[in-house]
Amino acid sequence: QVQLVESGGGLVQAGGSLRLSCAASGHTFSSYAMGWFRQAPGKERDIIASINWTGASTYYVDSVKGRFTISRDSAKNTVYLQMNSLKPEDTAVYYCAATLGFGLYSRMGSYEHWGQGTQVTVSS
């Protein structure tokens, strides 16, 4: 079983930056592909970015390409989401997720383990 704990959310002005962290414990972190999702009020939970088990491959949804960067540090069992040039429409609860596998995964159903979420609010 993998436990995931997100941190780093908060309130930021439009154009600002935040870095989210997701600390994993309980199993071999390096065996897991990781993803970041977000859910705005009244909307579905959607993929933002994902990273494969080595960190060599990444995926981004079009709306965050060039602004967000996903990375992982296996020594720290942590995956990060660096968010720059934030917009009010980025306001949501952000979740990290983990799945055993060697691929790159963008569907919610591909992930078995989820964190509790961290709120990101971007003011205009």
The pLDDT, as a whole number, for residue 1 is: 77
Query: Considering only CA atoms, which of 75, 114, 92 is closest in space to residue 18?
Result: 92
- Buried-state track 94-107, b at ≥16 Cβ within 10 A, e below 16: bbbbbbeeeebbbe
Per the prediction, the chain carries an average pLDDT of 95
Average pLDDT over residues 105-117: 96
The pLDDT, as a whole number, for residue 61 is: 97
Average pLDDT over residues 97-114: 95
The pLDDT, as a whole number, for residue 15 is: 98
CA gap 30, 90 in Å, rounded? 29
pLDDT band at 100 (very low <50, low <70, confident <90, very high): very high
- CB count in 10 Å sphere of residue 45: 17
The pLDDT, as a whole number, for residue 28 is: 78
pLDDT at 71 over 80: yes
Q: Which tens digits make up the pLDDT trace of 44-60?
A: 999 999 999 999 999 99
- CB count in 10 Å sphere of residue 76: 12
The pLDDT, as a whole number, for residue 47 is: 97
Average pLDDT over residues 107-121: 97
The pLDDT, as a whole number, for residue 27 is: 67
Residues above pLDDT 70, as percent of the chain: 98
